[in-house]
Chain A
Amino acid sequence: MLSYYFSLQYRRLSRWLNANGVPPFVGIFLAGFIFVFLSKLLFLKLTWASECFILIAFSQLAKLSAQKRNNQLSLIFDNLTKKKIRLVENLLLCLPYVIYLLYVGEFYAVGVLLLLAIIFSFIVFKTYVQNTIPTPFKKIPFENIIGFRKNWWLYLLLYFIVFQSVRVDNFNLGLVALGAIFLVQMSAYFTQESQFLVWIYNKNPNQFLLSKVKDAILSCLILSLPVALVLLLFNSQHFLIILGVLFIGLIYSSSIVLAKYSAYPNEISLPQAILYAISLVFPPLLLVIMCIFYSKSKKNLNLSL
């Protein structure tokens, strides 16, 4: 039963990769390559990289412990099989981290990670409470409302980092936090949209895209402007840098809207995400990509508007 369950998961992954135009073996190889590259970078730049590794693995383990999927597993499998599945999937998830930590000789972190994997296989997380989390986006539903409710704790953390950056007079830290706010806000646009939710609009594709871009910019400003102002107040000599980051952030925030609808009605595909990620590293490419995404978005939206 276990082998069938995991072969089914592998088939799902293969189908997802195939649907995104990536042969499964290439996708898995690429994922491995990116993982090793990012890990090397992390361990090169940070002294607390192994703690960071544990934190990333922790957040992923927490997702596997979500109540909804655990209830689903309980409905299908008996208790013992379910526990075995949970343990194996937790260990599989931790495997890349464990291998890398062994490679860099962080045996203490390996122990912590394996212990977490075992403990989490017995835990079910209620992912979020039923109480409605208020958002500053009441008048502009809906991506940013969802994004804010998913990531409110991250925003809190980033605002705290900004506060710390002012306290210890570390301008770069504050700037990184400002950039991170943009990234978190942009992640709201990775939600797949049903055709119905586009169809309801009394707008043509151009008007629709414009209104969505406006909403994205407004939401981005609501979240980032207080931080930018605080940084300006305490680092007025760097005002050009702060305004530059704010401007670039707003451009990226607009471009993610185009990226989303260039894939509509599907989720942003892997090649699109890679293309977009490259433009994050090499911003001039964004101009070309935005034109491509805009023309694709218009074409896709014509189907529903």
Chain B
Amino acid sequence: MILSVKNLSKKYGNKTVLKNINLEFEAGKIYGIVGKNGAGKTTLFKSLTSLESANGKIDSPLGNLKNHIGLLETNPLFLSRITGWEYLKLLCVARGINEDNFDKQNIFDLPLNEYVEFYSTGMKKKLAFMAILLQKNDILILDEPFNGVDIQSNIILSSLIEQLKQKNKTILISSHIFSTLSNLCDQILYLKNGQIVKSVLPQDYKTLEDEMKTDVLMNTSKEIML
């Protein structure tokens, strides 16, 4: 077991965002987290990385967990007037990794000497992903990694995730694209109103997808007057 979560709960004021989450993650496996907007996926990820304080217990044999986790945020934040190369250097320096030769490892052919603010959404995401790969983390948390990324890069991303699994890394992915998750994941967790309501293995992915569709359609009672 590389990561175990016991009774994880999180509140923003009176609003409960996560309710008694209990999970166990193993090394060399890919986990998918699905749920509609506001279900608590990002809060769960931020709580696991300790970017958000939460109640409950998070254990790992890795020790100080945050030094072994790479987080890819939904919309990675970049400061202005920083080049891609400098961003990669910053993330390596932060983890004490002495690495300079980023051009050789530039799998997405990003213009590393240009300011990141001029990158497209997809390019920014690829840069952030490349940075957490360079950090050589044991656990990778990828919040909507496929959003805004072109099809070609999605294929590269999926292939890289598979390779990371082969290297015994643990990967947690949230995505709205169910088909991508079902192709990649060893287990999919369905998060609804801050609770894990289902934990599904590959043979039951189709049932889960159908259930989620029904759930969404049944609960759509409002409409915009067009």
Contact = CB atoms under 8 A, between A and B. Distances in A.
B111 to A, nearest CB: 10
Given A196-B51, A200-B91, A202-B67, A146 B80 contact: yes
Interface string B102-135: 0000000000011100100000000000000001
B79 interface: yes
A202 B94 contact: yes
Contacts of A133: 81
Contacts of B115: 130, 132
A191 B66 CA distance: 24
Interface stretch (B15-23, B82-90, B168-176): B82-90
A31 B135 CA distance: 46
B26 interface: no
B81 A150 contact: yes
A128 B71 CA distance: 31
Contacts of A304: 50-51
Contact of A200 (B86, B95, B114): B95
Contact of B90 (A141, A150, A202): A141
A141 B49 CA distance: 23
Interface string A101-143: 0000000000000000000000000001010110000111110
B79 A191 contact: yes
Interface in B59-107: 66-67, 71, 73, 77, 79-83, 86-87, 89-91, 93-96
Nearest to A303: B53
A139 B92 CA distance: 11
A142 B66 contact: no
B118 A130 contact: yes
Contact of B96 (A128, A130, A140, A202): A202
Interface in A212-244: none
Given A130-B115, A199-B51, A146 B82 contact: yes
B95 A196 contact: no
A194 interface: yes
A181 interface: no
Interface string A72-85: 00000000000000
Interface residues of A, number: 25
Nearest to A129: B115
A10 B1 CA distance: 54
Contacts of A303: 53
B164 to A, nearest CB: 19
Interface in A129-184: 130, 132-133, 138-142, 145-146, 149-150
A132 B96 contact: no
Nearest to B46: A195
Given A196-B77, A200-B94, A202-B94, A141 B51 contact: no
B82 A142 contact: yes
B82 A195 contact: no
Contacts of B114: 130, 132
Given A130-B114, A130-B115, A132-B115, A145 B86 contact: yes
A43 interface: no
Contacts of A195: 51
Given A141-B90, A146-B82, A201-B95, 4 more contacts: A146-B81, A150-B81, A196-B51, A197-B79
Interface of A: 128, 130, 132-133, 138-142, 145-146, 149-150, 191, 194-197, 199-202, 303-305
28 contacts: A130-B114, A132-B113, A133-B81, A138-B89, A140-B93, A141-B93, A142-B79, A142-B86, A145-B81, A145-B82, A146-B79, A146-B80, A149-B81, A191-B79, A194-B77, A196-B51, A196-B71, A196-B73, A199-B51, A199-B66, A200-B95, A200-B135, A201-B95, A202-B67, A202-B95, A202-B96, A303-B53, A304-B51
